[in-house]
Structure formats: structure tokens, C-alpha cells
Structure 1
Amino acid sequence: MIRELYNVRALPSEQATTPLTPEEERRCRATLFTELGNKIADRGWVRFPAYSREERARLVDVGRMLSEHWGMTVTVEAEDECALRLSLAGHALRP
């Protein structure tokens, strides 16, 4: 028996990422803003994984948004190739 398949798409390879819709992107940034902002407010810094360019750019934007919201500089630094650190002044990475 032969069946016709409608609305079937090939899945992307495991290494390829699918872009977020504008609504998903907005919700993701809002969640990161709240969760990371709370941790930074508690201890002055937070480490968060970022494996792709999109994730790194998203965290840089969240850091900028937090800086504007608080009126204080939130620095975003790479700890290694897989994580970024967002911190307030005085909590930056030391060489």
C-alpha cells in the first residue's frame, strides 16, 4: 500500500539550529532578562552557556537591556568558548 504524505518536511541535521520566531525570541529575552537579572542582583554576576553566535548575541543584548534598566553597567565577557559571564562593576573576570 502506498500512502501520500502531506505537509512533510525534512528535519534539519542535528548540528543545524532552527531560528526562533519573533514571539519566541521576545519571550526568550524576557525570561533571560528576569532570571539572569535576579541572579546578578543577588550575587553580582552570573555565568550562562552560549554555544552559538545567536545565543551569544542574545546574551549581549540582555546585558545591554539590564544596563539600561538599572542605570549601571553590566559587562558581558566570554569565560571560555561555551559560556559568557554577565557581571556588575567589581565582579568582572580577573586575568
Structure 2
Amino acid sequence: MTTRDLYNVRVLPGDDRPVPLTDEEERRYRNLLFSDLGNQLADHGTTTYPAHTPEDRRRLVEVGQRLSTHWGMPVRVTADDECRMRLSVGQECGPARRT
């Protein structure tokens, strides 16, 4: 395929919107985050993860709260920048909170 073949291709409005996860996909994704981010926190004490939407940020805060409960110690969830959230554990950390 060449650029000439794509000359008349147009993006239709609405095609670039993200599709929400089903309840089952959401549950599986949160479980995956709980496991993977929990392992990274256990190994390094801190980790970052992409969070481009408010739903991504809420999901990470909920995973942080779940890790806090599971470990019996606070997991702090803060915005690292506009596209990433940082999860951390340690003496200086308060409980997971919404940002």
C-alpha cells in the first residue's frame, strides 16, 4: 500500500473514541493492576503507571486503596504529571486518596 492508495481515506467522526470496558474486563484489569503494581511496589517501594483519563486515575486510586487494605499499610497515590500516577509505600506515605 502506498500513500497514493490512502489519498481518499478519511477518518469518520467518533471513530477515535475509547470503548468502555465491560464489567468483566474492568474486574480483570483491576486484578492485573493489583498484582503487577503490587509486585513493583514490594520490590521498589514506588512505581508509576499511565493515567490519561479521569477513569484511569480513579482506577489507580482504587487499586492503591485495595493494596493498602491487603498489606495493612498505607499506599499513597499521587499525580506524577498530567499523564502518570505514582504509587508509593513507606513511612512518609498517608492513605491512598483521590486526586
Distance 2:92 2:46 in 1: 6
Residue 65 of structure 1 corresponds to: 66
Distance 2:40 2:68 in 1: 14
Q: How many correspondences in the alignment?
A: 82
For residue 71 of structure 2, what is the amino acid of its counterpart? Answer: W
Residue 25 of structure 1 corresponds to: 26
Distance 2:73 2:38 in 1: 12
Structure 1 segments of 4 or more deviating over 4 A? none
For residue 40 of structure 1, what is the amino acid of its counterpart? Answer: L
TM-score computed with the length of structure 2 as normaliser? 0.76
- Report if the CA contact (8 A) 1:74-1:88 is conserved: yes
| Matching residue within 12, 15, 26 for 1:13 | 15
Residue 89 of structure 2 corresponds to: 88
Distance 1:43 1:91 in 2: 15
For residue 20 of structure 1, what is the amino acid of its counterpart? Answer: L
**Identical positions, percent:** 50
Q: For the aligned residues, what is the CA RMSD?
A: 1.7
Stretches of structure 2 that go unaligned for 5 or more consecutive residues are 1-11, 94-99
> SS of the residue aligned with 1:76?
strand
> SS of the residue aligned with 1:72?
coil
> SS of the residue aligned with 1:28?
helix
For residue 25 of structure 1, what is the amino acid of its counterpart? Answer: E
Stretches of structure 1 that go unaligned for 5 or more consecutive residues are 1-9
For residue 80 of structure 1, what is the amino acid of its counterpart? Answer: D
For residue 61 of structure 2, what is the amino acid of its counterpart? Answer: V
